[in-house]
Structure 1
Amino acid sequence: MAIHHPHNHPIHEQLDRQYHRCLAPTRHSRIKQRWFTEPALAGLGIDEILDICATPTAAQNPIVRSLIARHQDDDTDATTILLIALLPSLTRIESTFTPRQRRDDAYSALWAAAGHLLATIDPQHEPVSANGCPRALISHLATRLRSSKRALEPEHRNLCRRYQRDGLPVVVSLDASHIDPAAQDFVSQVFARLELERSLPGDVGG
């Protein structure tokens, strides 16, 4: 499975490379062996996991929760697979951006917001629909990213609600010029850059 996107964004290109590294026979075997202790992941190959995650039913949720837990424990292979599973949702959100948002590289900021969400969400979270039925976790994550103001700090979210009237999303800027897409630890760079920008005052923009 190749990752295609009309903008050939460097995040997609790097995820594609990392995905194919995970599929290398020896590495794939080690991943399956390492994940065998996870009931939701045991015995599943990477493409099987992605196929299940692509189906918008609650059957994917134990797998996604396991990937989130492993991601939060610094399992970079779980991070790669989790981000690929979320990629279609992010590209759909990106398709709704205005030309100005694209010029401002709001898509990179959207990835930063996704990284923050995956780093902070409770791995045991079980989303439900308005009528109380279980909901697909990937869809829930996408909805949170799409419908929120995408403010990464509670105080910025409150400030946005109090003073912002035009409905534009508020994001923490992620300057792509500071990211080296050729590096092996690209995803770690994205998260590290996110944490750096979160620590600086006055870095929230619309």
Structure 2
Amino acid sequence: MTTPTRVLLLNSSILGDNGQSRGLAAHFRAQAERRGGVTITERDLVSDALPHLDGAELGSWMIEPAERDAAQRELAARSETLLEEFFAHDVIVLAAPLYNLGIPSQLKAWFDRVLRAGRTFRYTENGPQGLVEGKRALVLAARGGQYAGTPLDSQTPHLTHMLGLMGIGDVEFVYAEGLAMGDEARESALGEAHQAIDALVDRL
């Protein structure tokens, strides 16, 4: 019996059902479920928002589990829960709107908990080395303007480098751009993005 591909789908749009990246995520989910052979865990990083990482939480990771007090155990559990979920999946799908040329702070807060030295990467004399093997990532990128391939697209390299730091080098992007540039541009961009998602789902 074939083991289903396990997908972790992360939403980070602050616009609820009106978010275009959420629409891309919904299309991905519908196509994947229709295809079969896939199990999907969906995490909403807005409705279940993480606080910004602070010194107390960072410090809790540095303390041996048996030596943590109750507050430190609670703080450390945030990262541990997300890491367990992350490691349990084969494909990470990030539905990522572009906010002020970057990723939403809610998505950055997630990365701050899973990008852990000693857990998902390590430092060596030759630089950082990813510790995550056998995972793929798909980014569903929704943008109001046209940014891909231009110097203003800081989001693509940022996500690529954060995933790469952990060892995830198989990263594919689906762009839906020009969504705020008129109805015709929006419908055309979404149609092309849906076709690209369909092709990727067929290769899951």
TM-score by length of 1: 0.27
TM-score, normalised via structure 2 length: 0.27
Greater per-residue strand proportion = 2
